[in-house]
Structure 1
């Protein structure tokens, strides 16, 4: 039963991939391109890559967006290669080494930018290296080769987009509408659980699941954004819903934490308000109307602040959710919500990880280049290309070793498959374009099914086979050339994997400590009297860093609880009525400078010293708050923050 339910979707994408390959092949030969295989290879990678990432047929716009990234990356790489060749044409070895450095630099950049844009930078790095090593003996042909490569890649991308449009790409809008309803129901259940002060492990599981789902909804919003411009209004609403969802998680978890020390803060009547179970979003809507009516009687002052804030956020969520589903014109009330607060972008905590990626890519490419120049192996250039491709693309993955292993499996499988096509299929079909297209379509069809199952080595098998079989104009069948090319690919991916294994990435602990210190800095920075700074919305950035922490340390509950506690402290201090005077304002700046020194410290010793200084300054700050008669809404959260920092001082300062 399950096989029949998923088979049509798998078949549709397999046909789409086959169509993209055939279109690229036919158009490439029709326009007498010298190397049509670049167009076919581009169509294959652009179409299959999003399907492998999605584990099925990609949503509408994903293939088009990946194609645009590939065009941008190719053009950047071509321009960089021309600059390198023009500047170093008289020193070929130096020219190749500089191209290796450029590849490493692009990998470093791709490790710091957003994941969805990293593909363009990784591609630009190995594109420049491919051009440099291809024209190493004929540098005057560099401009011609760069133009040809760009045109063939653009042709392949156009064919991939046309094939995607021909077979009705599925829209992600229906999935978003369904997720919005389910997310609100689970948010309500989390608040019920926190108010009832249920099992701590159950609360941890519920809030971490909601963090993941909210992050996933943000990714779905990105897919909707690139799908069509007609969803621009829904996209704006979803951007605000992301903040509202994170606000609700924060308020619910703070409700739970407050009851650890002050259970009397939430009397029984408030718990009974949320006690009624909910199954659908209509149940949540009905309960919220009843709760808002009761809160209008009690007033904001006499209502627990976390409950009042949670209900307000849930109400705005419902309003924007209806707008997302209908995609109607944005009302004045919605516009006020959407323009509420400027969102702050997070700073990368993976700088050390990015530097490791730089050295992995640069060293592997240089080793490959020296091996090629020393041995004079005709297919050493193929090995270099594969080294650059594997290291540039694998470094952004959560597990680069598995990505490299995927390439190894794919290239091993590409050797017999490519041999079969080279010796049997292509010689029998070279007189008939129809038979040639059918043979390539069958290859794309069967691999397209495996790609959707995330079969290890499937994409590398497709790319490796297309790269080694003869799809040039005119076709020539020299077995030595095929064997050299296939072995060059295999040696290249093996060398890349060896480098990844030898140059270990020891940045995991450092990244975790950096993330936790960024949470500390955000909490300290929220103590300010500057109105513009207080209006800045740090919540999406903080939860994005928390999601990275979840991925880096999937089983470390202590780290998650500490990070969530610091996020809650940030939100509470951001809204605290801190007295406005020059003395406190100057001390706020001093606290921020010290917190920045903790993050930027180059050693554990310096970090511990700056952290101790921060704790001493916070003690002075608490005394200043007492002198200036700050209300309990300020002194209590500051005291809780200082207690947290003292308790977890070792975890925040040592690797």
Structure 2
């Protein structure tokens, strides 16, 4: 019963994957492509990849976006291969080694760019290696092979997109509307907990859940942007809603922390207003109207955290209505949308990226030496699989599990591919209809398993299509088939060995880099520069915090430190710092010292720079008193200094 119910849920995508494979196969043979398998393999991977990542049928636009990334990555790889061949054609061994280093470089870049764009760089690395390996016997045919490969891949991608459109992909818009309705209520409930000063564990749970949902909402925005240009106005609004949501989370958390030392910080009228329960966005809207009236009466007596939270929530609801209706952007909305320029985050995974570079480069070079030393005809296939596995696995949280997935997939592809190669395809060779039907059945059943994220399902699909060798004309040489299958298996095993030997010890260092970057952002927010004060760093800071959540699940102390640093940044950014040349010069000195901490390569220099920063912050507090800075400036600076003193060990000691 369970199997049939799950199959019915995933049935549409299974038909979609089967259609993509059949279309690519039919077009490949109809236009007499030399290697139709590249088109079929591309169509299968472009369609199945997003489904495996989503754990179900991907939203509309995901397959098209992945297809565009594959086209970009293929063209970059082809141009790189042509350049390497032209420069090093007279030194074949050096040419192969340089190509292995290129694959490592692409993996390094893919580890630093946004996750959704990393696929293109990983693909470009092993595309160049495939071309260089394939043309070893006929280097003069390189341009022809590059053009053919690009053409076959584009055909496969177009087939996947056509299949996606035929089976009416689901839109993410309904999910976004539903999530917006619920998330604004959860924001209100988080603020209720913070004003009531509930237990820290309860607040932590509500805060982390809301942060994850905000991050997921931003991912939905990316899917909506890929879906259609008609959602451009909605995606603009959602981009600002993401920043507003992070601002509300920050203000709620700061309201909770302030009451640790000053329980009277929240006036009684606001405590009463936030005691009223809410069940819908309409209820939140009514409460906000009451709060704005109270704020207009209270004036300067309103706590800045509540004032900012109410303003952000009001703008949130304004933009939410625009997203729901997807109407023309009004003048008021335009003012909100153009409010603050968003700063892009700086990657904290530089050490992790370098380890990925060495893993890919070393494994590919070892595969090259193994191929040349043994002279095995399928050693080239093993090399390709090494490059594919290491390039695609490195960006994921658990590369060893990805390698294990490939090993299981290749083991399952061996008997499945043998069944097709020895019995099914020879029996259907005289009928294009039967050939298409046989591969459609393969795509259909694997399409169901891919959506369940069954271990080895993606690799089984790719490995089976690759080893049945859909060439034009077809040749049924069992020795060639067996060599090809064993080459794939040996390649993934070698890749797994290299990844196991070259251990990734970057976790602690990445965590410390994130904390140091958050600390530097808090210190750098001390400025009188109008342009710098208008910059919105919250999305970048929370992206770093979310990476910290993934790297250290359950480490509450580290999360609280990171959140405190983000709160300090936001409060100091809005603080009315006195404007004069002496303070401006000291701000620059503080930023230089903070930058030295983040760029320090060893613990001794980091500790030395950190102690200097603490001394400078003590001097800075004296300067603020000299220039009669208000409490809204001196208090957050004092809190930041105390926090850095308390957590200096966590911010300066490396455990890598």
Q: For this structure pair, what is the TM-score category when the shorter chain's length is used for normalisation?
A: over 0.9
Map of 1:113 onto structure 2: 113
Map of 1:598 onto structure 2: 597
Once the two structures are superposed, the pairs formed by residues 560-579 of structure 1 within 5 Å of their partners are 560-579=559-578
**Could you tell me how far apart the structure 1 residues matched to 2:5 and 2:215 are?**
28
**Could you tell me how far apart the structure 2 residues matched to 1:259 and 1:350 are?**
35
* Kept in 2: contact 1:13–1:57 (CA 8 A): yes
Once the two structures are superposed, the pairs formed by residues 213-292 of structure 1 within 5 Å of their partners are 213-292=213-292
Map of 1:351 onto structure 2: 350
Map of 1:204 onto structure 2: 204
Map of 1:379 onto structure 2: 378
Map of 2:43 onto structure 1: 43
Gaps of 5+ in 2: none
Map of 2:67 onto structure 1: 67
Map of 2:557 onto structure 1: 558
- Any idea what SS the aligned residue of 1:606 has? helix
Once the two structures are superposed, the pairs formed by residues 289-328 of structure 1 within 5 Å of their partners are 289-299=289-299, 301-328=300-327
Task: Give the deviation of 1:282 after TM superposition.
Answer: 1.6
Task: Give the deviation of 1:73 after TM superposition.
Answer: 0.3
Map of 1:100 onto structure 2: 100
Task: Give the deviation of 1:565 after TM superposition.
Answer: 0.4
Task: Give the deviation of 1:4 after TM superposition.
Answer: 6.8
Once the two structures are superposed, the pairs formed by residues 625-636 of structure 1 within 5 Å of their partners are 625-636=624-635
- Any idea what SS the aligned residue of 2:329 has? coil
Map of 2:167 onto structure 1: 167
Task: Give the deviation of 1:371 after TM superposition.
Answer: 0.2
Map of 2:182 onto structure 1: 182
- Any idea what SS the aligned residue of 2:159 has? helix
**Could you tell me how far apart the structure 1 residues matched to 2:626 and 2:2 are?**
69
Task: Give the deviation of 1:296 after TM superposition.
Answer: 1.8
Deviation per residue, 1:614-647 (Å, 9 max, x gap): 1111111111111111111111100000000000
* Kept in 1: contact 2:7–2:448 (CA 8 A): no
Map of 1:389 onto structure 2: 388
* Kept in 1: contact 2:106–2:124 (CA 8 A): yes
Gaps of 5+ in 1: none
Map of 2:140 onto structure 1: 140
* Kept in 2: contact 1:9–1:57 (CA 8 A): no
* Kept in 2: contact 1:185–1:284 (CA 8 A): yes
Which range moves more in the overlay, 25-34 or 8-17? 8-17
**Could you tell me how far apart the structure 2 residues matched to 1:433 and 1:287 are?**
66
* Kept in 1: contact 2:405–2:459 (CA 8 A): yes
* Kept in 2: contact 1:364–1:499 (CA 8 A): yes
* Kept in 2: contact 1:24–1:43 (CA 8 A): yes
Tell whether 2:588 aligns with 1:589.
yes
Map of 1:491 onto structure 2: 490
Deviation per residue, 1:546-583 (Å, 9 max, x gap): 00000000110001000000110011101111110000
- Any idea what SS the aligned residue of 2:314 has? helix
Task: Give the deviation of 1:2 after TM superposition.
Answer: 7.5
Post-superposition, which runs of at least 4 consecutive aligned residues in structure 1 deviate over 2 A? 1-9
Once the two structures are superposed, the pairs formed by residues 540-559 of structure 1 within 5 Å of their partners are 540-559=539-558
Task: Give the deviation of 1:5 after TM superposition.
Answer: 6.3
Task: Give the deviation of 1:3 after TM superposition.
Answer: 6.7
Distance 1:4 1:275, change over 3 A: farther
**Could you tell me how far apart the structure 2 residues matched to 1:252 and 1:596 are?**
29
Deviation per residue, 1:468-503 (Å, 9 max, x gap): 003100001000000000000000000000111000
Map of 1:514 onto structure 2: 513
Task: Give the deviation of 1:281 after TM superposition.
Answer: 1.4
TM-score with structure 1 setting the length? 0.99
Task: Give the deviation of 1:297 after TM superposition.
Answer: 1.6
Task: Give the deviation of 1:287 after TM superposition.
Answer: 1.5
Task: Give the deviation of 1:269 after TM superposition.
Answer: 2.6
Map of 2:13 onto structure 1: 13
**Could you tell me how far apart the structure 2 residues matched to 1:384 and 1:353 are?**
23
Map of 1:411 onto structure 2: 410
Task: Give the deviation of 1:9 after TM superposition.
Answer: 3.7
The number of residue pairs the alignment matches comes to: 654
Map of 1:467 onto structure 2: 466
Deviation per residue, 1:149-205 (Å, 9 max, x gap): 000000000000000000001100000000001110100000000011001011011
**Could you tell me how far apart the structure 2 residues matched to 1:187 and 1:535 are?**
24
Task: Give the deviation of 1:8 after TM superposition.
Answer: 3.5
Deviation per residue, 1:298-349 (Å, 9 max, x gap): 12x1111111111111010000000000000000100000000010001000
- Any idea what SS the aligned residue of 2:340 has? coil
**Could you tell me how far apart the structure 2 residues matched to 1:360 and 1:298 are?**
61
**Could you tell me how far apart the structure 2 residues matched to 1:237 and 1:488 are?**
50
**Could you tell me how far apart the structure 1 residues matched to 2:484 and 2:286 are?**
67
Task: Give the deviation of 1:355 after TM superposition.
Answer: 0.2
**Could you tell me how far apart the structure 1 residues matched to 2:500 and 2:368 are?**
19
Distance 1:279 1:596, change over 3 A: same
Which range moves more in the overlay, 352-361 or 621-630? 621-630
* Kept in 2: contact 1:126–1:385 (CA 8 A): yes
Task: Give the deviation of 1:7 after TM superposition.
Answer: 3.9
Map of 2:614 onto structure 1: 615
Task: Give the deviation of 1:428 after TM superposition.
Answer: 0.5
Map of 1:427 onto structure 2: 426
- Any idea what SS the aligned residue of 1:274 has? helix
Once the two structures are superposed, the pairs formed by residues 74-89 of structure 1 within 5 Å of their partners are 74-89=74-89
* Kept in 1: contact 2:191–2:252 (CA 8 A): yes
Which range moves more in the overlay, 596-605 or 1-10? 1-10
- Any idea what SS the aligned residue of 1:169 has? coil
